[in-house]
A and B are shown apart, each in its own frame.
Chain A
Amino acid sequence: MIGSLAALLLFQLAGEIVVRLTGLPLPGPVLGMILLFAGLLARGSAPRVFTDTSRGLLSYLALLFVPAGVGIISHLARVADEWMAIAVTLIASTALAMIVTAFTLRALTTTRGE
């Protein structure tokens, strides 16, 4: 498990270093994810301990959002000022994105005779 955690941190570190060296418009951990994804595809399979540790960490994903979420306390005035526009934008945009994705995928998979 320690080895798996170290591997995840090393991929993150590699991502951060490459982003800083190349100026890619990506967060370091995202590039780390892409590197790991490419590595997993190239390798075919990952050691069981590694996938277990990764899934374990992801099962607590929700908790990891809490400290950042509490940061809303610094923006309470902003949210109180703009809550109506925020709510309308957020709900309408989420619904639109979902409809466009679902209809595009359905149209493309059914016309191919699946």
Chain B
Amino acid sequence: MNRLAQIWVYIEETPLLWLALTLCVFWLAQQLYRRLGEFPLLNPVLISVIVLVVILAVTGTPYSDYFDGAQFIHFLLGPATVALAVPLAGQARELRRYWLPITIALTAGSLTAVASAMLLGWALGLDSQTLLSMLPKSVTTPIAMGVTEQIGGLPSLTAVLVILTGITGAVIGIPLLRLLGVRDPVAKGFAMGVAAHGIGTARAFEHSERAGAYSGLGMGLNGALTALLVPLLVWLFGF
């Protein structure tokens, strides 16, 4: 018994436990997602977060203890953000051909995503910190968290709102656009990427290769534009 207690004390003090558990939970969530036909609401990130939150709550572990282990995974978001330049550069030829329509559609979509969240959230009486954390919701998490940190929101809240936005876009995107008569895979894909980042892009790739490529393009471009736009709008409206 004494030895078991000693082992537990050791495990609690190394980052190993939470690092290993995060990987295990994510792996299981991914298996579940694949086995059940990639049903959007079973998004592996969403399921992993829920399971880990329950584990932390049940064991009474503070988030800071968990993060001591999980920070090794979190750190890789930085280089992964830099790596987004690679698929983007792969679209260089398409970019040159459609650069004007793409620039205009990107600006319109990006402004709509940020401004509509600002107005709706304000009208519905969201707390100002919640609202700030929601503004970069349409771009991929590492960028969104960086933006939130800069404007004084809560990066961890942003991470969850971004994931929920991606799931929303992946679930409603294709049926909504089809209902409105948009058949062009380029327009569909690009819109999914601009509004719903990586999770939308994954869904667009399931729809077609061409839609997926444009979705990746929309996601990358909107990431850069939103990083500039949100701090500017926040400064203009004086939040």
Contacts and interface: CB of A to CB of B under 8 A. Distances in A.
Interface residues of B, number: 107
B137 A93 contact: yes
B81 A100 contact: no
Nearest to A69: B49
B31 interface: no
A40 B86 contact: yes
Contacts of B26: 62-63, 66
Nearest to A56: B83
Interface of B: 22-23, 25-26, 30, 44-45, 48-49, 52-53, 56-57, 63, 66-67, 70-71, 73-74, 76-89, 92, 98, 100-102, 104-106, 108-110, 112-113, 116-117, 120-121, 124-127, 129-130, 134, 137-138, 140-143, 145-147, 149-150, 154-157, 159-165, 168-169, 172-173, 176-177, 180, 182, 184, 186-188, 190-192, 194-196, 198, 218, 220, 223-224, 227-228, 231-232
By secondary structure, the A interface counts as helix
Contacts of A90: 117, 134, 137, 161, 164-165, 168
A99 B176 contact: yes
23 contacts: A9-B79, A27-B81, A29-B79, A29-B81, A33-B84, A62-B44, A68-B77, A70-B49, A70-B52, A71-B160, A86-B161, A92-B120, A93-B113, A97-B109, A97-B110, A99-B191, A100-B112, A101-B106, A101-B108, A101-B109, A102-B187, A106-B182, A108-B105
Contacts of A85: 121, 124-126
